[in-house]
Structure 1
Amino acid sequence: MSDTHPEQLLSEVAALPGLPGVYRYFDAQGQLLYVGKARNLKKRVSSYFQKSHDGTRIGHMVGKIVRMETTVVRSEAEALLLENNLIKTLNPKFNILFRDDKSYPYLKITGTRELFKPSAKPLSPSSAFPRMAYYRGVVDRRHSYYGPYPSAWAVKESITLLQKVFRLRTCEDTVFANRTRPCLLYQIKRCSGPCVDLIDHEVYAQDVRDAERFLRGETQAVLDTLEQRMLAHAEKLEFEQAAVIRNQMSALSRVLHQQAMDTVSDKDVDVLAVKVHGGRACVNLAMVRGGRHLGDRPYFPAHVDDATAIDHALADEGGETPVPGDPAERVAVQVLEAFIAQHYLGVAMPHTLVTSHPVGKPLLDALSEQTGAKVNAVHNPREHRRIWLEMAQKNADIALARLLAEEGSQQARTRALADALNLPDDQLDALRIECFDISHTAGESTQASCVVFEGHKMQNSQYRRYKIDGITPGDDYAAMRQVLLRRYGRIAEALRAEEGTADPLPAETVDASDAPEESAATEPTVESVAGPRMPDLVLVDGGKGQVSMAREVFEQLGLDLSLIVGVEKGEGRKVGLEELVFADGREKVYLGHDSAALMLVAQIRDEAHRFAITGMRAQRAKVRTGGSRLEDIPGVGPKKRARLLQRFGGVRGVASASVDDLCTVEGISAELADAIYRALH
């Protein structure tokens, strides 16, 4: 075994059992490097340390290992599930990683559980006439949800389709309760007008049932039911009602013809195609739900080269059985299996997958164990499944080609900026730029933003917003001073401590309140995983005044002035005429309106402005709309407050609701409803 690793680590490796399990490697800073699974822990882990891997990616990783953790499990399937759970949670540096994006949209039909449940209690008007809605978030058992859909567009397209055929309402309950005449959707035959009693409750309920059956893929059964209803009306000489149902059948037939899936037996299927090229990969996921093709979405994994190089090196040495086929196919299979394992972990999934490459039996067994039903993966499909797969493969090719073109353009911009500012060009992949902007409305709700550009792209998980207090309203210079002190005070203090400088910085410069944006990914910041690090460039949105303020802060903190660059508006504040202003005394630089370097600077500056102004508007809206009014009412906690705001669309909607309306919200008693009403009036 290697003599470059701690003796304790090597002894732990030698003592490992020959059982299935999961192993984790850490570096000297405690950062997780790699998570792997094994049928035989001892054999697999020992293969990392039995020979030299110098000059390879696996050698780069193995050279950093100082600590190891292992977990023994009962089976390879259990090891696979645990491995991918840890990968998703911990984001190791040398694993194939897919962004954990489970925020798929759904189509929701409200109140169906209450509508179809026998009850002596009369239904409220809004409950008697359920509505369709686009939805993301936590599932409520009282409603029905259909999907998931690959995009918001797909949901809205389905809602439009159902409006044409079944004419269900889409208006909010507050709007529904206050209508005195039908809206435009009724006039264009997209709604049956339940808000003004233009349709009977029982007839509307039947339309809801038919819409749900259609979404479940029971299209022929829906057509048969509609035909029977039409004939029944005709026998009773109710020709107007029969004509309405005839029009529904015609609209539904047109939809089925457009989808070209009226004879397809598949109800719920996911189609997965993978494309690997140029060191990058794309997995295209197409969704079929209820027999309808809902569209697709591309996914681009990180760390493909590192992870596949490690796996192939170990497989070739006998650590595990290698994936058959040529190296390119092995990479594609690895990427596909990594996506399937990470994407479907802990979520509902269809029982049939159509894949562009074969999927290993251990993975399918693990998914079957998780879902409680057998999961099948079909490779080399026929008939309509083959058409779906060809579509997914073509879309994967297009998405990957677009990504490579965009990345090539972004790398060219990074190189152009480095050349323009005489920055070192040997490590452009690690070039880090931080940009600051200030936003307020006449001094109200001042917010500062810090956005980060690194690895040729914006790193939104590292964005920061700062609420600026204790300054004269509208003083942008004081705001800039405060945000720079708060951002770099801690880093400067840490750097001085590393260098052994005795004099501490003033307390005002050390502030830990630079919290990340709430919607950003919860990844560790640069300082938390690798010690303090200053960016290679600090952009401030402003000219000489803001640059002078930044220079004062950096002088106070003892930081390098050459890092500061101001983006000054050009003549007439026209886009493309911006000039760069330097804090270290260099002359201004005009890059040219068509310069790739200026395009990158403008991209970063505009992102900082967007991030600052959205934070400022949110803060201003909270102040102006009295967002805390509900919080001050005794008995209204976070859950009840969320239910009230969701039901009535905001504080104003709650304030305009009657006591009886408030009582319809789950958890709101008559006494509490009366207290809320009095507090808001």
Structure 2
Amino acid sequence: MSHTALEIQLKTLPNLPGVYQYFDVNGKILYVGKAKNLKKRVTSYFTKNHDYGKTKVLVKKIADIKHIVVETETDALLLENNLIKKHQPRYNVMLKDDKSYPWICIKKERFPRVFSTRRVIKDGSEYFGPYTSMKTVSTLLDLIRGLFMLRTCNYDLSQDKIEAGKYKVCLEYHLGNCKGPCEGYETEESYHGNIESIREILKGNFKSSLSHFKTQMKTLAEDMQFEEAQKIKEKIDVLENYQAKSTVVNPKISNVDVFTIVSDESYGYVNFLQLSYGSIIRSHTLEIKKKLQESDKELLELAITEIRQRFHSKSKEIYVPFKVELGENIKVTIPKLGDKKHILELSLRNAKYFRLEQLKQVKIVDPDRHTNRIMAQMKADLRLTEEPRHIECFDNSNIQGTNPVAACVVFKNGKPSKKDYRHFNIKTVEGPDDFASMEEVVFRRYKRMLGEKQSLPQLIIIDGGKGQLSSALKSLEALDLRGKIAIIGIAKRLEELFYPDDPIPLYLDKKSETLKIIQQLRNEAHRFGIEHHRNRRSKSALNTELETIPGIGEKTIVELLKVFKSAKRIANLKLDELEDVVGKSRAEKIYKYYHNQ
């Protein structure tokens, strides 16, 4: 489609809520979006300057636009969600719905069975769920079977078949787990009373069952049936214990969905808690892969629509951390304090915990994805124009002003690349002058890299504050590299990052992964620098009289110093003491040297 045809399409878009779809020249769907006002939203793609590269690329590829006008914003949300899932366009966030969740079914039959299933059949049976884990389902079913006597057989218990004596009671009856409706030992009415109680428990309401059992217990105790009363008391204990575990919040908060989000550069994690009668009856976290730097608001709106659809939620109210547009049928609450705020924080904790777990797993299973995410995060955190795939960090080690040395450590893809580490002995600077040393080292490093046509880093980190940074900058300027490589200085406490020409330092979150990597770089540069410095000092210490003894090499000297610590002590040793360490012939050479002087 020609450019003018696109312009005509843009002009004829309505000022109404709806969903738009972008297609490329081959008719392949690129992107699905929703809008309160189709004309405004779609036009903005073509008139705005997009900072984010992927959005630019998307706009270039658009050859055709289709739109669907809808009645309300809610309809737009649902339609957008369904189209994304159906077509999974390249530039939309990833919404995976490939899981079949377990449900608890109360079967539509004369004496209903209660069981778990992953298949929902529309035959009039009732389904509770879906549950996010089979463990929850098993716990609930164990609880129900412990409280109520239900049948587990799949006989057709119609009245005429029971009256005709078609069935005989099984072992479950003799074990006391079933009252034997198959032989007419239990009425339909009594059985349905149990089913009603189970229905309430599955909705999260334990009140009516508890009061029913308490009444039963009293009656039995008054009739002197203490053994039966004890059995009922045990059931009350089980129920109260289960309720205590599941009640987290205020019992007045009922039929509410809670949503929170945490995100990084590449993924969003949305946690959903469902509350019923003050209990959390469901918790689920959805992971969403970002494509176009979507905001938390966009991700949350999409996720809420998706999760409510997936879990068949009919709640009329939701709690969220910030304002979201979800149409007219849902009350949106942003809790500020009290129990509501507490439940929101609980949801956020769940989202954060889930994210950490995912990251640990990804690190093991998919190291590339882990690296890509960290690189994208560092680029954003440090305000860089490209991902810092290759980072170099410089550290000066001037210990008591002797043997000034410097270290350069290299990280590639967030990990140490030890073969690329370099040591520098300071040549041009007399005495301990940190700034001049830094200038010399940075100049030597990059002059050499340019000369050898090696690929340059995307980021240089200077261990030191503003002074060190400006020294390094002088060298970059001299090599015409200023502005071509990002460079930052880190102050001693590490919380502050200094940028060229910016008097205000950047402070990173203490828990951020970016800070962790910078810390690792700095510590590594420190360790590497000090190790080299130590080697140089011990080498210069070897430059003692010992080295002047004919026929005695460095190895022997090191062995002796390890044992006797100083040249002075070695000079005063007896021959046999020397022999024990270095053998006869070498011992004689050393002994003669000192005693013939």
- Superposition TM-score tier, normalisation by shorter sequence: 0.5 to 0.7
Deviations 1:511-536 (A, max 9, x none): xxxxxxxxxxxxxxxxxxxxxxxxxx
Structure 1 residues 62 and 296, CA gap change in structure 2 (3 angstroms): same
Q: Report matched runs for 1:168-187 at 5 Å.
A: 168-170=150-152, 172-173=154-155, 181-183=170-172, 187=175
Q: What SS is found at the alignment partner of 1:98?
A: coil
- Partner residue in 1 for 2:138: 156
2:333 corresponds to which of 378, 391, 394: 378
- Partner residue in 2 for 1:277: 264
- Partner residue in 2 for 1:470: none
Please, what is the CA RMSD of the aligned residues? 3.6
Deviations 1:180-208 (A, max 9, x none): 6424x975x7x245378696335444333
Deviations 1:358-385 (A, max 9, x none): 242x4141xx2xxxxxx22332265444
- Partner residue in 2 for 1:333: 297
User: For the pair shown, which has the larger CA radius of gyration, 1 or 2?
Assistant: 2
2:39 corresponds to which of 39, 42, 48: 42
Partners of 1:351 and 1:376 within 8 A in 2: no
- Partner residue in 2 for 1:103: 100
Deviations 1:43-69 (A, max 9, x none): 222222225548722111011111111
Q: Report matched runs for 1:288-437 at 5 Å.
A: 288-289=275-276, 291-302=278-289, 304-306=290-292, 308=294, 331-345=295-309, 348-352=312-316, 354-360=318-324, 362-365=325-328, 368=329, 375-380=330-335, 382-412=337-367
Partners of 1:107 and 1:155 within 8 A in 2: yes
Partners of 1:22 and 1:72 within 8 A in 2: yes
Partners of 1:264 and 1:384 within 8 A in 2: no
Alignment partners' CA distance in 2, 1:139 and 1:294: 23
Alignment partners' CA distance in 1, 2:206 and 2:227: 24
Shift, 1:340, TM fit = 1.0
Shift, 1:139, TM fit = 4.1
Partners of 2:246 and 2:279 within 8 A in 1: yes
Partners of 2:250 and 2:278 within 8 A in 1: no
Under a length normalisation based on structure 1, what TM-score does the superposition of the two structures give?
Answer: 0.47
Q: Report matched runs for 1:52-67 at 5 Å.
A: 53=50, 56-67=53-64
Q: Report matched runs for 1:461-610 at 5 Å.
A: none
Percent of matched pairs sharing the same residue:
28
Shift, 1:167, TM fit = 3.9
Matched, 1:11 2:8: yes
Shift, 1:161, TM fit = 1.3
Q: What SS is found at the alignment partner of 1:79?
A: helix
Count of matched residue pairs: 363
- Partner residue in 1 for 2:89: 92
Partners of 1:333 and 1:357 within 8 A in 2: no
Q: What SS is found at the alignment partner of 2:171?
A: coil
Unpaired runs of at least 5, structure 2:
372-597
Q: Report matched runs for 1:158-237 at 5 Å.
A: 158-170=140-152, 172-173=154-155, 181-183=170-172, 187=175, 191-192=177-178, 194=180, 200-201=186-187, 202-236=189-223
Q: What SS is found at the alignment partner of 1:7?
A: helix
Structure 1 residues 387 and 141, CA gap change in structure 2 (3 angstroms): farther
Deviations 1:151-186 (A, max 9, x none): 222111111111222243445559999876424x97
Alignment partners' CA distance in 2, 1:52 and 1:263: 49
2:79 corresponds to which of 75, 79, 82: 82
Alignment partners' CA distance in 1, 2:185 and 2:113: 14
Structure 1 residues 352 and 36, CA gap change in structure 2 (3 angstroms): same
Deviations 1:10-64 (A, max 9, x none): 2221232333332211012221111122333322222222255487221110111
Q: What SS is found at the alignment partner of 2:41?
A: helix
Alignment partners' CA distance in 2, 1:199 and 1:377: 51
Unpaired runs of at least 5, structure 1:
115-126, 309-330, 369-374, 417-681
